[in-house]
């Protein structure tokens, strides 16, 4: 074998050894050692993997490592260490149930004993919801290791209580709802809030707190647009053009002429002649008024009524839109986004 080949093989061995030191690989080696009944080696591999930072090992691998570490320690006659591993597992994942087909009764029995005395709750909330009206709510699912009292509340940015949602016991699971309202029934302002779930011991002291950040945004509904005004093309003419008026004016002047040239037919005295011109003047005025009256546009009642009906319909539509917009202006929708849970053990 050439020197280059030997160097490549050596580098491959080093790389393989480096890969073997990853937390996930250590978990795998620990599980295989447990299955081979080498409990000391199993505990050593698993302890090394679990000592790594949380970011270096996923939750599922960490849970797997803890359950095998607890089983290995129990077979090494380290019952307290085994119980501590199981308690640590349950605080990490309160919903975890040990597989009775994989682990024998002595392991599952200890695990159940630890579950009964470990008070922890897993809180599951949708990452984002929008509350649009009555009946909508943010569902908050609680999964408990064992029956114990809890308090569920939404806290204001300053840490004071916005609203207490639940106080009481929780067994296997419970769903609590928040309708997005404060204790007085009003929607909160936009801002950062905290969903807090507190587990208490039998003596009433706080043993565990789960806090989830909530980003709440108030959203106003969009208003409806105003209806389009009645198009001019739909409106009918409301007046008919007047006549020329010449017929009335001509008839009047003809009458005046007749009175002026036929005085004998009207009266024979001087006073009668004066009266004749008064009558002629009156008739002339009447003729002029008739001329102006016939030239004035005349209303079309049917068209006026039709146009008024169109305008009334538009007004009803506008009133309806206004009423809807007023209602929407009073309504407030809430958009709620949930962050990652933070767990605090103890008070």
Helix orientation angle between 59-75 and 23-35, rounded to the nearest 10 degrees: 30
Is pLDDT of 325 > 90? no
Helix then strand then coil, in percent of the chain rounded to 5, is 50, 25, 30
The one-character DSSP state at 145 is S
Check residues 256 and 182 and name the one with the higher pLDDT: 182
Q: What residues contact residue 92 under an 8 Å CB cut-off, 6+ apart?
A: 59, 62, 63, 66
Spans of all domains in the chain: 17-115, 121-219+334-345, 232-330
Model pLDDT for residues 287-301, shown as the tens digit of each residue = 555 555 555 778 888
Work out the mean pLDDT of the chain and round it to a whole number: 83
Residue by residue, DSSP assigns 56-125 as GS-HHHHHHHHHHHHHHHHHTT-HHHHHHHHHHHHHH-TT----TTTS-HHHHHHHHHHHHH---EEEE-
Q: How confident is the model at residue 18 (pLDDT cuts 50, 70, 90)?
A: very low
Q: Would you say 90 and 115 are in contact if contact means Cβ atoms under 8 Å apart?
A: yes
pLDDT tens across 3-17, in order?
555 444 544 543 454
How many degrees, rounded to 5, is the angle at CA 344 between CA 52 and CA 206? 145
Q: Would you say how long the chain is, in residues?
A: 347
56-62 CB contacts, 8 Å cutoff, 24+ apart = 56/23, 57/23, 57/24, 57/27, 58/24, 59/92, 59/93, 61/23, 61/24, 61/27, 62/92
State both tokens at 222.
Answer: 């969009």
Please give the pLDDT value at position 244: 54
Q: What is the DSSP letter of 180?
A: S
Q: pLDDT at position 109, please?
A: 97
- β-partners of residue 167 are 151
120 closest CA partner among 47, 184, 198, 63: 198
Question: For the residues 219-235, what does the mean pLDDT come to?
Answer: 81
pTM value > 0.85: no
Buried b (16+ CB within 10 A) or exposed e, 323-343: eebeeeeeebbbbbebeeeee
- Residue range 200-226, pLDDT digits in tens: 998 999 999 999 999 999 887 667 888
pLDDT at 269: 52
The owner of tokens 């509350």 is 131
Given a cut of 60, whether residue 191 has pLDDT beyond it is yes
Of 332, 321, 338, 335, the residue nearest 133 (C-alpha):
332
| Residue spans of beta strands (DSSP E) within the chain | 121-124, 128-131, 138-144, 148-155, 161-170, 173-178, 191-200, 206-220, 239-240, 298-299, 332-338, 342-345
Decide which of 107 and 3 is more confident: 107
Q: What is the CATH number of domain 121-219+334-345?
A: 2.60.40.2550
Q: Which fold has domain 17-115?
A: 1.25.40
Sign of CA dihedral 316, 320, 322, 323: positive
* pLDDT at residue 266 in the model: 47
Report the alpha-carbon angle 340-346-347, nearest 5.
100
Q: Average pLDDT for residues 184-200, to the nearest whole number? A: 94
């Amino acid at each position: 074998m050439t020197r280059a080949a030997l160097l490549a093989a050596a580098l491959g061995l080093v790389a393989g050894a480096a890969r073997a030191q990853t937390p996930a690989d250590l978990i795998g080696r620990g599980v295989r050692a447990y299955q081979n009944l080498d409990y000391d080696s199993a505990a050593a591999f698993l302890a090394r993997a679990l000592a790594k930072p949380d970011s270096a090992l996923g939750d599922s691998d960490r849970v797997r490592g803890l359950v095998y570490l607890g089983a290995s320690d129990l077979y090494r006659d380290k019952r307290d260490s085994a119980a501590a591993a199981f308690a640590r597992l349950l605080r990490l994942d309160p919903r975890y149930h040990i597989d009775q087909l994989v682990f024998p009764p002595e392991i599952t029995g200890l695990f159940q004993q630890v579950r009964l005395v470990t008070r922890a709750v897993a809180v599951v909330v949708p990452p984002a919801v929008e509350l649009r009206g009555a009946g909508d709510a943010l569902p908050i699912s609680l999964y408990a290791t064992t029956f114990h009292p809890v308090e569920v509340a939404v806290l204001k940015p300053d840490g004071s209580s916005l609203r207490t949602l639940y106080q009481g016991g929780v067994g296997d699971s419970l769903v609590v709802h928040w309708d997005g309202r404060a204790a007085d029934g009003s929607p909160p302002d936009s801002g950062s809030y905290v969903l807090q779930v507190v587990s208490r011991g039998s003596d009433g002291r706080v043993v565990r707190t789960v806090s989830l950040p909530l980003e709440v945004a108030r959203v106003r509904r969009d208003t409806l647009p105003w209806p389009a005004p009645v198009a001019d093309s739909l409106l009918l003419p409301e007046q008919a053009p007047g006549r020329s008026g010449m017929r009335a004016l001509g008839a009047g002047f003809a009458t005046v002429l007749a009175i002026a040239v036929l005085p004998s037919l009207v009266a024979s005295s001087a006073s009668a002649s004066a009266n004749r011109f008064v009558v002629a003047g009156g008739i002339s005025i009447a003729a002029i008024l008739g001329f102006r009256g016939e030239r004035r546009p005349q209303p079309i009642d049917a068209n006026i009524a039709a146009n008024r009906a169109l305008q009334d319909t538009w007004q009803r539509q506008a009133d309806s839109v206004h009423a809807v917009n007023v209602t929407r202006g009073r309504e407030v929708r809430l958009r709620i986004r949930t962050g990652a849970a933070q767990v605090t053990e103890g008070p």
